[in-house]
Chains A and B, each alone.
Chain A
C-alpha cells in the first residue's frame, strides 16, 4: 500500500502547489485589476483616506496644479479641489464618490497609487511608516493656451457650443483642449451622495450637454477643411502634379445623379479652370467635388485614414473616431463628390481638425496626440515618461510643402477665405497658415452652418483645430478663436 500512499502524497503536493500558485495569481498578479474592479468597496473606502496624486499642467514649464487633494479640516479624509474650475474640466474630468471621468479616470491607477509600477514605492512607504500617496500626473497642457482657449470659447461664440484643440505638431503634445459649455468639477467632490445625485442629474438633463467633452467626443462635418485631405490624395496619386496645375471649376457642377452643386453664393471660381492653389484659397466646392469623383471614394478614405480618421484614439482619454464611413452606396460618385468637400457622411472631432494642420506643419508626419507627459512618484522621481511616436505619414514632405503653400494663400492672399480674420493684419504679423470650413449640418439652412478652422504657425510648434456648432462661416466664427490662442501662446513661447 505504500506505493499508493506515495502517489497520494504527490496528489496532495500538487493540490497545495495549485493553491499556492493561485494565491500568487490572486494577490500579486491580479491584485491591481481586482483593485480597479468597479464597485470595489475597499478601494472606494480607501480612496479618500490618503492623498490622491496631483494633476499638473506643465506645458509652459510652470507646473500649474489643476487638481489636488486637500485634507478636510477636522477629519481624516481628503477632498479633491480644482483651483481653476471650468477651465480644465474637459481635461481633468471629475473625481466623485460615485465615479470619475477625464484624466481622473484614465490615470486613476497612478493617481490612486494602485498601479503595479508604484508597488515598490508603496512598500517602501509602508516600511518607513509614511502615508501612502498617489503619483503626480504631469500634463502637456499649456496653461497660457488653455486659459486663452477657454476664455475665447466662453466669450466669443455667442453661446454656441464649441471646442478647440491645440497640438504641438512635432511631438503630438496637446497644448490646449477646451470645450464649451462645460461644468465645474468642484461640484462633484462632495461626500454627500444625495447632493451629488442632484448635481449629476441636473448636468445630465441640461440640453447644452455641459458634461460632453466636445474636443474629442463631438463629431461634425469638416466642410472645406477636408479639401486638405482631397488635395493630399490628388498630389500623392499624381492626379494633380503641383499647385499650379489647373483643374476644372465650373460655377455649377452637375453630379452623375443629376443633382447640381453650386459654389457658395454661386461665386465664379477664377476663370473656371484655375490652378488648384487658387481653387483652394477661394475654396471652390465644384473644383474639389469634381476632383473627388476622379479620385474615387476608396482613395479618399485611404488618405482620410492616414490623417488619423476611421479609428479610435486614446490620448489616454478615449477619442470618438472621425469618419469617412463605408456605408451603403458610399462608392456612388455623386456621394463621393460631397465627401471630397467634407459633407455627406464625413464627421470629425475638433482634435482631428488640429491633426490635419499638425501633419502638414510637421512636413507630412502625423504625431500621436497625447496628454500625459510624465508620471512622477511621491519623491518626484519619474515613473513613466512619454516618448513621441509617429501615428502615420499621410503625405510626403514635398506634398506637405504644396499644401502648406496653399494654406498660406488662404490667409495671405487678399481673396483667401481667412485673409480678413487670420491674415497678417488680424494677427499682428504672426504668420498663420490655415483652411476654413463652413459645413452644412443638414439641420438648417439659415446661416447656422458649423464653423471650422484648422491652422498652424510655420516654424512654431502650434497647430489648432476649432469647431463652432452652428457658428456660421468658419472664417468669421472659428478662425478668430484660433488666432487668440496662438497670440497668447506665442506671446509666451517665442
Chain B
C-alpha cells in the first residue's frame, strides 16, 4: 500500500482575513474623518478643532469592535464591520452637520427637535451598539444557542411590539407615530428590537414546522396551496401587523414585520404559494386600512400628488422638501455643510437620506446604496454558506429585512413608494435603531464566522484504516 500523496502536508487553513478587515476599517475611518472635516469647512470655513475628539472616540469604538471580532469570531466576513462602521460614521457626521446648522454662528436654521448635544448622544448610542455587538459575539457562540429561546423571544417580541399601543400617548407618541416607550429623558423604539426577537422566533418555528408547511396541501391552478391549518401562523402574523398599523399608526413597521415573516416562510418552504398568499394578504390589508383610516389614505394622496393644490405647503410639505432638496443636490451635491437640508422636517431621522442626497449628490447616495447593498449581499452569502438551517433562516431573513427597510425608507423619501416612517439603518438619529442595527451586525458576524470556520482538523494522523483479521 502506498501513502496518499500530500498526506504529510497540512491541509491549507482558510485565512481569517482579520488584517484585511482592519485595513478596510482604517479606510472607512479615514473617509469619516474627511467627511467630518469637509462638513466643518462647509459650515464655518474652518477646520474643526475641539470636536475632533468625537471622531477619535468613534475610531476607538470601531477598533474595539474589531478586536472583539478578532477574538470571538476570527473567521467572520471581513467586510461586515467596515461597512457598518462607514455607515455609522457618516451618520454621525451628518447629525453633527445638522446639529451645527444655525448654531455657533454657522449659517442656516436650527433643525427642530435636534438638541445641541445630538452628536454626543449618537456617539454614546454607538458605544452601546458596539457593546451589544460584543455581547452578541461573547454570549452567542453559535446561532443555535438562540434556538433554545424560540418561544421566549417570540413572546418578548410581541410584548415589545404591543407596549406602545397600550401606553398613554404622552409616553408613546412622537410626531404622530405611537411606537415609543418614553420615560424620563429616555425614549426607546421597541419595534426595532421586536423585529430581531421575532426573527429568531420565526426562524425557530419554521425550522420545526417547515416540512409540514412545505409538503402538505393541494395543487390548484398550478399553485401548491398549503393546508388551512398551516395558514394559522401566517394569518396571525398578518393580523398582528394590521394591529400595529391601526393602533400605532405605523405602516413602516408593519410592512417590515410582515415582509420579514413572508420572506422567512418562503426561504423555509421554497413554496411560491406562500409568497403569493403573503403579497395578496398585504395588499388586501393595505387596501382595507387605506379605506378605513384617513392617515393611511393620506399617505397615498401625498405619494401620488405631492405637488398638486395646497399639498406642497400642507400635507406633502415634508416629502416635497425632501425631493426638492435631493433635486437641488443634483449629480454632485452642494457639498457637506453647503446645502439647506434643515428645511426638511425630521431630516435628522426619517429623512436623513435626503440630506445626503442634497449635500453629496447622486454620486453620494449611489455610494450609500452600494454600501447597504454590499452589507445585504454579505449577509445573504453567509446564510447560503452556513450549514445550520436555523442560522440560515435567521440570517437570510434579517438580511432581507435590512434590504426591505432601506427600500421602504429610501423609496419612500424619493417618491418611489408611499412614504412610511421607518429609520434608515445606521444613519438616522436615534439609539434604538442604531443598537438594533449593531445587534444585527453581531448576528451576521457570528453566522459568517460559523460558515467560514474550517472543519475541525484531525488531531493526529491516524494512518490508513487497518483491517484487523481475526484469527
- The residues of A with any CB-CB pair to B shorter than 8 Å are 1-9, 11-13, 15-16, 18-20, 22-24, 26-28, 30-32, 34-35, 37-43, 45, 119, 123, 126
Contacts and interface: CB of A to CB of B under 8 A. Distances in A.
Contact of A8 (B267, B320, B362): B267
30 contacts: A2-B384, A5-B383, A5-B392, A5-B396, A8-B266, A11-B400, A11-B403, A12-B380, A15-B407, A18-B416, A20-B369, A22-B414, A22-B416, A23-B357, A23-B362, A23-B410, A23-B414, A26-B327, A27-B357, A27-B365, A31-B327, A31-B328, A34-B324, A35-B324, A35-B328, A37-B307, A41-B321, A42-B339, A42-B340, A43-B328
Interface string B385-396: 000010011001
Q: Is the interface of B mostly helix, strand, loop or mixed?
A: helix
B263 A8 contact: yes
B377 A9 contact: yes
Interface string B244-261: 000000000000000000
Contacts of B389: 1
B366 interface: yes
Interface stretch (B52-60, B329-337, B426-434): B329-337
Contacts of B380: 5, 8-9, 12
Contacts of B323: 26, 34
B400 to A, nearest CB: 5
B342 to A, nearest CB: 10
Contacts of A3: 270
A201 B38 CA distance: 46
A34 B415 CA distance: 13
Given A19-B369, A22-B415, A39 B340 contact: no
A304 B366 CA distance: 56
With most chain A CB atoms within 10 A of its CB, the pick from B267, B307, B327, B343 is B327
Contacts of A12: 373, 376-377, 380, 399-400, 403
Contacts of B421: none
Interface in B246-292: 263, 266-270
Given A23-B365, A123-B331, 16 more contacts: A2-B384, A4-B396, A5-B384, A8-B380, A8-B400, A12-B377, A18-B411, A19-B416, A20-B366, A22-B414, A23-B410, A27-B330, A32-B327, A34-B328, A37-B324, A39-B313
Given A16-B369, A27-B362, A28-B362, A22 B328 contact: no
A349 to B, nearest CB: 32
A24 to B, nearest CB: 6
Contacts of B407: 15-16, 18-19
Interface in B340-398: 340, 343, 357, 361-362, 365-366, 369, 372-373, 376-377, 380, 383-384, 389, 392-393, 396
Given A26-B415, A41-B340, A6 B384 contact: yes
Contact of A5 (B267, B326, B357, B369): B267
B170 to A, nearest CB: 33
B327 A27 contact: yes
A31 B325 CA distance: 10
B332 to A, nearest CB: 7
Nearest to B270: A4
Given A8-B263, A16-B373, A24 B403 contact: no
Contacts, number: 135
Q: Which of the four size classes fits the interface of chain B?
A: 35 or more
Nearest to A18: B416
Interface of B: 263, 266-270, 307, 312-313, 320-321, 323-332, 339-340, 343, 357, 361-362, 365-366, 369, 372-373, 376-377, 380, 383-384, 389, 392-393, 396, 399-400, 403-404, 406-407, 410-411, 414-416
Contact of A4 (B267, B339, B372, B404): B267
A27 B326 contact: yes
In the complex, which of the residues A23, A41, A119 has the most CB atoms of chain B within 10 Å of its own CB atom?
A23
A8 B266 CA distance: 9
Given A8-B400, A15-B404, A20-B369, A26 B392 contact: no
A156 B329 CA distance: 53
A128 B134 CA distance: 47
When A and B form their complex, which 5 residue pairs have the shortest distance between CB atoms, in order from nearest? Answer: A34-B327, A12-B403, A27-B362, A15-B407, A31-B327
A306 B325 CA distance: 47
B324 A4 contact: no
A308 B154 CA distance: 76
Contacts of B383: 5
B400 A42 contact: no
A28 B331 contact: yes
A340 B321 CA distance: 55
A13 B406 CA distance: 12
Nearest to A27: B362
B396 to A, nearest CB: 5
A26 B407 CA distance: 15
Given A12-B376, A12-B399, A15-B404, A42 B324 contact: yes
Nearest to B331: A28
A407 B369 CA distance: 71
Contact of B327 (A2, A15, A30, A39): A30
A35 B334 CA distance: 14
B337 to A, nearest CB: 15
B422 to A, nearest CB: 14
A474 B366 CA distance: 67
A27 to B, nearest CB: 4
Contacts of B416: 18-19, 22
B362 to A, nearest CB: 4
B399 A42 contact: no
Nearest to A24: B362
Contacts of A123: 331-332
Given A27-B330, A42-B328, A19 B313 contact: no
B348 to A, nearest CB: 18
B330 A31 contact: yes
Contact of B324 (A5, A13, A41): A41
Nearest to A19: B410
Contacts of B377: 9, 12
B182 to A, nearest CB: 32
Nearest to B268: A1
A119 B362 CA distance: 14
